[in-house]
Amino acid sequence: KNIYTLFFYFLLIFENKRLNLLVSNTTMPALSFKALDTFYVNFPEKLSEQKVIGSLLKKLDSLITLQQRKLEQLKQLKKAMLQQLFVDKNNKQPNSRFKNFKGNWEQHRLEEVAQVTMGQSPSSKNYTDNPNDYVLVQGNADLKSNKISPRVWTKEITKQVHKGEIIMTVRAPVGYLAMANMDAVIGRGVAAIDGNKYLYYLLQTKLMDRTWEKLSSGSTFESISSNDIKNLEIKVTETEEEKLITKLMNTVTYFVTLQKNNLTQLTTLKKYLLQNLFI
């Protein structure tokens, strides 16, 4: 009767780490009544203060949930646009098209429209943690938010990706993409594709339809080869139509990124409030 339920709910979230220290170290870890009986918490005596704190955090939780739904809707919109604006292997024209564009799209092998460079790992003795050395991209762990996220550096140059080129993972998980936001050395886990932003979006459709998954399924280490990438059949259209598709996809991608940032800020705010509203 002396504690507001909603306040207590968020208090237990705040105390999660301390509660986990009470978990028994057995085959089936559990919290015992005896352990909980020794667990003390701090809370304001006035129910009015508890209600203000609980209500504030509840409203923030509701806002975070709404923003998560909005992000999922934007992701689904982007996925639908990729499916509608690009041509799959069974068709010659897209399902949706800009006005005044007609005719079938042309089929090519990827190597006919872009240069593919497979990565080659430097010697491990040349790896460093010095940001003044060359950034090394070895796989998905070095890519974040579809960009290079420096984690390891090297003194040795083997193969490179240049700023503005496409990076694609060739080992599990296969087919994930990033746009190089800097020059970097590339290891065996990735390939560099000297293509434009239109090709970047087109390759996203290959991840969606599980093209790479099917190619790598027979591989021991779930990987794809240089020939798999170079011989990939793609369909392209005239330059002006490609530019319009790219512009539209850039716009929806911008809103997806913006929404992710909004959600991150709200999550950070909740963490800050939990740390500062409780003792």
Go through the domains of the chain in sequence order and give each one's CATH number.
Answer: 106-234 (3.90.220.20)
Q: Which amino acid is at 185?
A: V
Please state whether the peptide bond connecting residue 122 to the residue before it is cis, i.e. omega within 30 degrees of 0: no
- Residues 6 or more apart in contact with residue 18 via CB below 8 angstroms: 39
- Residues 6 or more apart in contact with residue 89 via CB below 8 angstroms: 233
Give the chain's radius of gyration (CA, Å): 25
Q: pLDDT, tens digit, for every residue of 109-134? A: 999 999 999 999 999 999 999 999 99
Mean residue pLDDT across the chain: 94
What confidence tier does 24 reach under pLDDT thresholds 50, 70, 90? Answer: confident
Q: What is the pLDDT of residue 89?
A: 84
Q: What is the pLDDT of residue 138?
A: 96
Q: For residues 244 and 181, what is the distance between their CA atoms, to the nearest angstrom? A: 23
Q: What is the pLDDT of residue 219?
A: 64
Q: What is the pLDDT of residue 90?
A: 87
Question: What spatial distance separates the first Cα and last Cα of the chain, rounded to whole Å?
Answer: 21
- Residues 6 or more apart in contact with residue 57 via CB below 8 angstroms: 6, 10, 270, 273, 274, 277
Query: Is the model's pLDDT at 248 over the cut of 70?
Result: yes
Phi-psi region of 103 (alpha: psi -120 to 50; beta: other; left: phi over 0): left
What confidence tier does 31 reach under pLDDT thresholds 50, 70, 90? Answer: confident
Q: pLDDT, tens digit, for every residue of 125-169? A: 999 999 999 999 999 999 999 999 999 999 999 999 999 999 999
Burial class (CB in 10 A: 0-12, 13-18, 19+), 135: buried
Q: pLDDT, tens digit, for every residue of 178-219? A: 999 999 999 999 999 999 999 999 999 999 999 999 888 766
Q: Which amino acid is at 53?
A: I
